[in-house]
Amino acid sequence: MTDTTVKLPIWDSIIQAWHKVHGAKQTVWGALLLIIAIMVGFAILSGIANAIYIPLGSVISFISQIFFYLLIAGMIYIGLQRAQDTPISYKMVFRAVEWRLGAKLILLYILKCLIMLPFVLILLFTVFISAFLHVMTMGFSHASETVNAATVSAGFSSPLSILAFIIVGCAFIYTFTRIMLAVPFLLMQNTGAWEAIVLSFRATRCNFWRIVGWYISLWLIMVISIIPVGIGLIWTLPLVYIAYGMVYKTLSANANNSMMIK
């Protein structure tokens, strides 16, 4: 049976995204500056509210974090549209603020946190067990006098904890990579939150190492662009969003193929 899985061409996707940066910089930076202005406004409002009534300031700060998440989703939407060669506008940054879509994105964020939570809990449990075993080897009577930060540090540095960090860390990276396209699927196809995660898993199959290579390549480009007083960010920040859109454009075919096979 012929393998119809689409493979991500790492450099080709980045190069194509680079070509699409031309003509998109003003829109992307306009949207980014708008986000900065909005968040500064929230910060000022939160500061005033804290001076009047601290809980009110906390509520405003919480709302600002949600709003920031939705605005970043709007930035992703701009990159997705540019990758599709459709017209873009800085106003698209408010795409995710629409309440139905915004609610789905918030639910998606919660689901992604729940998916990642077991990895964190396993690490903490491993550290706890390692620290406990360390205390046991010291003897309870002596340990009661010396249980301190050094004991906790021993829990982190034990062979068991190091092995757990490696295994769980790899599992975390693998899972994070597989669900990276959930937001684009939700934005572009208006799917449900869980459906977006499922489609992301389908789209990224057989592409884990290619996506890791894509991440590393973009990271290196960003680092190099920062060296000349950050001037390169004028081009590379728009590149990141558009390159993300190119990954979705390329790999979304895998999700569609999976549904056709079923």
Q: Give tens-digit pLDDT for 197-247.
A: 999 999 999 999 999 999 999 999 999 999 878 899 999 999 999 999 999
> Does residue 173 surpass a pLDDT of 50?
yes
Averaged pLDDT, 147-159: 55
In a domain, 61, yes or no: yes
pLDDT category at 126 given cuts 50, 70, 90 is confident
In a domain, 252, yes or no: yes
State which residues form the domain around 73.
Answer: 18-97+207-262
Averaged pLDDT, 179-193: 95
The CA distances from residue 64 to 91, 97, 167, 233, 243, in Å, are 19, 12, 35, 25, 27
Torsion angle of the four alpha carbons 217, 221, 223, 228, in this order, in degrees rounded to the nearest 10? 170
Please give the model's pTM, rounded to 2 decimal places.
0.87
In a domain, 236, yes or no: yes
In a domain, 171, yes or no: no
> Does residue 260 surpass a pLDDT of 70?
no
52-73 pLDDT tens trace: 888 898 999 999 999 999 999 9
pLDDT category at 157 given cuts 50, 70, 90 is low
- Residues 262 and 202: beta-carbon distance below 8 Å: no
Give how many domains the chain has, as a whole number.
1
In whole numbers, what is the pLDDT of the chain averaged over residues? Answer: 87
pLDDT above 70 as % of the chain: 85
């009047």: which residue's tokens? 52
Cβ-proximal residues to 9 (8 Å cutoff; 6+ apart), any chain: 250
Nearest CA among 30, 34, 39, 36 for reference residue 66: 39
Tokens of 119: 């990895």
pLDDT, residue 139, reads 53
Cβ-proximal residues to 146 (8 Å cutoff; 6+ apart), any chain: 138
pLDDT, residue 2, reads 60
Q: What are phi and psi of 240, to 5 degrees?
A: -60, -45
- Residues 15 and 76: beta-carbon distance below 8 Å: no
6-60 pLDDT tens trace: 999 999 999 999 999 999 999 999 999 999 999 999 999 999 998 988 889 899 9
In a domain, 82, yes or no: yes
